[in-house]
Structure 1
């Protein structure tokens, strides 16, 4: 059943037939989520229903790159939503609180993610099978919330402090990391070992020539930080990104059902 206020809200259509900005606050009302939770929606073309995918954004928020990722998932045939975890004040006011929530394993950000999942399940165009895709900080949430979804794709995702507890009961997981990512050195084999130990079906791959944010199409984040990010090997690596997307689509097709 659709909840009041769950439908698309007026806004900029950006040339699309449906409005990409939605109000998700009806799903957080009365709880500890964001009172004014917003989201970005990308819808596949053609007749549904389709599997749903929730994207958890990286530390820079729902920027151009995160919208590109959502649009790409829609082109692959997935009904996609990106809850804005910074809805209550933007990146600079919210990032610390969201990171604290990730570290604690509970809090507003987790409620906001659950709200996005509930919205997908309420849509007549969704099959009822929902995956989660996350990038960087969002990849950490994709690991931490994997027990709530049918498939998970953390990309250069931060590992929870208690990794073993985080993957207990996790859904099938396809993960991608860059060997040149100094901030996540050793994360890929650690995640795979934990998933294997728990008996979780997984496909974890580390790309030798990639660093952090290698799936982005262009450098992102505040301009003063971009020089530093480039110096640490962060940024697009198209060949690795294409392979990672191919693996995600194949894995999600297997575990969520055919998207197109």
Structure 2
């Protein structure tokens, strides 16, 4: 499908807010379970990688029913009766590895039901890939945005029905590629209360299955968004971040952008050399406050 190809039935798009329904084959899932440990696609694992224990929470791998089978995911939630606010956790390009799982446990410790679905499970097995460019080319670029939006909707519904989640207190957060997804989901979901995007790219190629950039959807976002970015991010120019902030303001959207001086891309990724403790911890505190202040608490 070309970038400007029209869908076969425009009525099918009413609930997808402009995202094109992709002609992908429902071949089932390449990944039927989550990876163990950290991604193989990193040069080295840093000693400061955080490991959150499971005291006071319930955590582990789950399966979420979607239209073409069970989708693997990681769920962490507080012990107790609930219901708890829901936070959808959106992975980097590397899949739901230990870093993403630990983020879910940290959120559970803070009182949330946190669920991270493996959104790339149909397109490829990122647990076996060591080449970042291969992951982008063979998996990320072939994952339709409409599929991702539907999977996140299914995850939110599952969290409310099966994980003591409160569907009226729904948030989303994501890192890197997941940060981009936060912006798209805020334009897609009428149920979302707030989102936090960690260094999500505003640009990128538009394709038939990924027809809009994060910048494109800013006028359409339905929920308050906090964006956390680094001034030293060589992949996301500060000018792009400021342009997105200005576009949100012009559209009358509730958006707060924080740019951390000297912080590179991946400054929250505690398992990589890009980690910066100060901005990571300050950004985490801002995220929790944002959720609290905007109905996800």
Distance between the aligned counterparts of 1:158 and 1:108, measured in 2? 19
How high is the TM-score relative to the length of structure 2? 0.68
Distance between the aligned counterparts of 1:134 and 1:208, measured in 2? 21
Partner of 1:50: 84
Superposed, 1:196-235 pairs within 5 Å as 196-219=249-272, 235=274
Superposed, 1:89-104 pairs within 5 Å as 89-91=124-126, 92=129, 95-96=136-137, 99-100=140-141
Aligned to 2:87, what secondary structure does the other structure show? strand
Distance between the aligned counterparts of 1:185 and 1:48, measured in 2? 42
**Alpha-carbon distance, 1:199 to partner:** 1.4
In structure 1, list runs of 5 or more residues that go unmatched.
1-8, 220-229
CA contact (8 A) 2:92 2:174 kept: yes
Q: Cα deviation per residue 1:48-83 (whole Å; 9 max; x = unaligned)? A: 221100011001111121112111111111100000
Partner of 2:67: 29
| Matching residue within 245, 257, 269 for 1:192 | 245
Distance between the aligned counterparts of 1:97 and 1:113, measured in 2? 21
Q: Higher RCO, 1 or 2 (CA under 8 Å, sep at least 6)?
A: 2
| Matching residue within 183, 199, 209 for 2:235 | 183
**Alpha-carbon distance, 1:255 to partner:** 1.1
Aligned pair count reads 225
Distance between the aligned counterparts of 2:72 and 2:223, measured in 1? 26
CA contact (8 A) 1:86 1:95 kept: no
Distance between the aligned counterparts of 1:113 and 1:58, measured in 2? 15
How high is the TM-score relative to the length of structure 1? 0.77
Q: Cα deviation per residue 1:232-255 (whole Å; 9 max; x = unaligned)? A: xxx110100111011110110011
Distance between the aligned counterparts of 1:214 and 1:162, measured in 2? 20
In structure 2, list runs of 5 or more residues that go unmatched.
1-32, 37-52, 204-212
Superposed, 1:100-249 pairs within 5 Å as 100=141, 106-123=145-162, 125-128=164-167, 129-147=169-187, 148=189, 149-160=192-203, 161=213, 163-186=215-238, 187-219=240-272, 235-249=274-288
Distance between the aligned counterparts of 2:86 and 2:72, measured in 1? 17
CA contact (8 A) 2:76 2:113 kept: yes
CA RMSD after TM alignment: 2.6
Structure number, greater radius of gyration = 2
Higher helix share: 1
